[in-house]
Amino acid sequence: MTVPAARRPARLLPPARLLLPVLAAALAVPLLTAAHQARPAPYGDRLTAHAPDPATAHAPDPATGPARRVRQRAADPALRVRAEAVEAYDRATGRNRWTYARTGHRPLAVHPAPGHAFTLWSDGLVTDTVRADGRAVRWHRAIPDFDGRAAGVLRPLDPAAEMLAVVSPRHIAAYRTADGDLRWVLPARPGCAFAADRVVTAGRTLLVAQPCAEPAAWTDQVVPVDSLGRVTPDRTPLGNGRAPRGAGPRKSVADDR
- Poorest-confidence range of 19-28, 58-67, 168-177? 58-67
Question: 225-229 contacts: CB < 8 A, separation 24 or more?
Answer: 225/157, 225/165, 225/172, 225/174, 225/186, 225/254, 226/157, 226/158, 227/157, 227/158, 227/162, 227/163, 227/174, 227/183, 228/184, 229/174, 229/184, 229/186, 229/254
pLDDT bin (cut points 50, 70, 90) of residue 235 is confident
Predicted local distance difference test score (pLDDT) of residue 144: 74
**pLDDT for 248 beyond 60:** no
- Poorest-confidence range of 7-11, 151-155, 197-201, 243-247? 243-247
Separation of alpha carbons 176 and 165, rounded Å: 9
Predicted local distance difference test score (pLDDT) of residue 107: 95
Please state, in angstroms and as integers, the Cα–Cα distance from residue 189 to each residue in 6, 171, 218, 255, following that order.
92, 9, 13, 9
Report the chain's terminal Cα–Cα distance, integer Å.
106
Q: What is the mean pLDDT of residues 142-160?
A: 83
Separation of alpha carbons 15 and 104, rounded Å: 52
Burial class (CB in 10 A: 0-12, 13-18, 19+), 211: middle
Higher pLDDT residue, 183 or 249? 183
Higher pLDDT residue, 252 or 197? 197
Q: If you average pLDDT over each of 13-22, 111-120, 236-245, which comes out highest?
A: 111-120
- Poorest-confidence range of 61-70, 93-102, 163-172? 61-70
Predicted local distance difference test score (pLDDT) of residue 217: 81
**pLDDT for 229 beyond 50:** yes
Predicted local distance difference test score (pLDDT) of residue 202: 85
Q: What is the mean pLDDT of residues 221-243?
A: 78
Collapsed DSSP state (helix, strand, coil) of residue 35:
helix
Q: Report percent pLDDT > 70 for the chain.
A: 67
Predicted local distance difference test score (pLDDT) of residue 83: 87
Predicted local distance difference test score (pLDDT) of residue 17: 58
pLDDT, one tens digit per residue, over 26-84 is 554 454 443 334 455 689 999 999 876 555 444 444 444 444 333 334 589 999 999 89
